[in-house]
Amino acid sequence: MHLWFAPLQAQDQAARSAREVVAEASALIDVDQQKALVETLAAASPEEVAIWFAKWKEGEIYLLEDDAGNVSAVTLEGEPDAEDKYSLASVVTGKTVAGADGAVIRKTKDEITMADTDSSLRKAMKGVTDRMALSSADPVRRLRAVKDTGLEQDPNKLVLLEQRAAVEKSGKVKAALVEAMALIKLRSEDLAVREAAVMELGKMGSIASQEAIKTVRTEAETAGQTKLAAVCSKALSDIAGHISRVNTASTAFHGLSYGSVLLIAAIGLAITFGLMGVINMAHGELIVVGAYTTYVIQKIFAAGLVLSPFGMKISIPGFNLTGTSWGMYFIVAIPASFLVAAGVGLLLERSIIRFLYKRPLESLLATWGVSMVLQQLFKLVFGSNNVQVESPAYLSGNWTVNDVAFNWNRVFVIAFAAFIIFLTWVILTKTRLGLLIRAVMQNRSMAACMGVRTERVNMMTFAFGSGLAGLAGAFLSQITNTGPNLGQAYIVDSFMTVVVGGVGNIMGTVISALGIGMADQSLQQALGNPVLGKILVLGAIILFLQWKPSGLFATRSRSLD
């Protein structure tokens, strides 16, 4: 038998592609020679190496022997014919294999030999891919490779990590290297090295090393190594303390972000209900308007969408943007969701609400009916199922500090809530509209006598509150499902937040939202039961309102009625 690849052995191994090396190595019989060739791929393209190693290990590479006894590596092409025969593609060139007469060669799987791999060869392949990952230009990939290598606890890979540590520049990867090397040293035969590694991991608060340290402690207790067992117990205690601090910080962050979500959902209601006295049960649907507006803009930035309201087919073309350009859709969706929701609120105020001022029961029933109509309208236009709103890259991922993960979307909602509060404060205290709103709120009749067009102020105030609800929907579309019933999950909590803070008091709404959010997340963490935590929060709110029916900050008015 002759190897068709013999002339290639004189080439510079580092300059050869992965497919060439895999083609030659798979045709060899000697495993040591195969491993030697595999080791030469350390400088090849990582992506190409991963592809061809996977094909080899998964049995997708076959050996074809021609009439002269030359062996070449091939892969199967397409689907088999009626005789269960495949056309073959050369691993080296990727071209269809043909005979001397130019006819395409077709073989059944039984007529060709699968290129096998044993455990030692697969281990050599993994060693190559590990070295590639550790030296990758992408710090995220390096970090993942370092962590995976540490968890393997293979003493043979300690040298690789030490070599990487000598040249590593990224702070995160350096810290991961220290942890990974300590994990591997836990398997050292030297007792002093193992003790030092355990102490290092305990000092770091290494959560990933808990099970490994427990194993070392069990082995030490069995072998009568009391000092090592005590060091392990101390390290596990330190790690447990670190986990407790991480959980506390994570709970506080999640409580703050949940409170911010409540605040964004409630701030519009604080305007329409708190300042205008209108019980708007359709506030949740105004949130949904903002969420669907975000969905439509996302689709327009992509390939477009097709809607079928009332049996009519409406096709909206898209810009077919991708990557960063597509991700800018959310920047456009923020003002768009405000304007669309404000427009819907304006229409609602002009058609229904303006006839129901100072008639709270009628306004509650009317707006509840409007919410039912809007929900059915959403179902007719967008369907009953939830729609998918994908987050852009700058809202995905997280920032990890000392094992506490700060999700970008949650950080954004906190910043977004702060911006909305600042914007609302500026409008209410620094603009003519805000002055008129406060005048009408304090004494509607006197403001009308002074020439204030109260109907116009009511219209603008309701539209502004509705627009804020639309902004809430725009962000909620990034962190939860967008569907016709999205608003129903927040309408009760929004009213609760406004009432606890004090009807008509913006600062009270802020404190109430953050307090309820922190209490809710803390109780869920402490009790381990989200339902029970929610029940306790609601119970506490009921007791609080029994004590202070006007909420945290009662709104003062100059009106005598």
pLDDT digit string (tens) for the chain, length 561 residues: 444 443 334 344 445 788 888 888 888 888 888 888 888 887 778 888 888 888 999 999 999 887 777 888 999 988 888 889 999 999 988 899 888 788 888 999 888 889 888 888 888 888 888 888 888 888 888 999 999 899 989 898 898 899 889 999 988 899 999 999 999 999 998 999 999 999 999 999 999 999 999 999 999 999 999 999 999 999 999 999 999 999 989 988 988 988 888 888 888 888 777 667 788 899 999 999 999 999 999 999 998 988 888 778 888 899 999 888 999 999 999 999 999 999 999 999 999 988 887 787 888 899 999 999 999 999 999 988 999 899 898 888 888 888 888 988 889 889 988 988 898 889 888 998 888 888 887 777 888 888 888 888 888 888 988 998 999 899 889 888 899 999 888 888 888 888 898 876 788 888 999 888 888 888 888 887 778 888 888 888 889 888 888 888 765 554 444
Confidence (pLDDT) at 546: 87
Rounded CA-CA distance 477/475 in Å is: 5
Confidence (pLDDT) at 554: 66
What backbone torsions phi and psi does residue 472 show, to the nearest 5 degrees? -60, -45
Most distant pair of Cα atoms in the chain: their distance: 109
Residue with the two structure tokens 């309820």: 516
Rounded CA-CA distance 49/33 in Å is: 18
Q: What is the DSSP secondary structure assignment for residue 395, as one 8-state letter?
A: G
Contact yes or no for 294/392 (Cβ under 8 A)? no
Confidence (pLDDT) at 395: 87
Give just the sign of the alpha carbon dihedral 219, 225, 228, 232. Answer: positive
Helices (H), 352-431: 360-382, 408-430
What backbone torsions phi and psi does residue 223 show, to the nearest 5 degrees? -85, 0
φ/ψ region of 79 (left if φ > 0, alpha if ψ in -120 to 50, else beta) reads: beta
What totals of helices (H) and strands (E) does the chain contain, helices first? Answer: 21, 10
Helix axes 171-185, 158-167, angle to 10 degrees: 160
**Cβ neighbours, 10 Å, residue 473:** 32
Rounded CA-CA distance 178/157 in Å is: 13
Confidence (pLDDT) at 557: 52
**Cβ neighbours, 10 Å, residue 217:** 20
Q: Within 13 A of 116's CA, how many CA atoms are on the CB side? A: 7
Q: What is the DSSP secondary structure assignment for residue 44, as one 8-state letter?
A: S
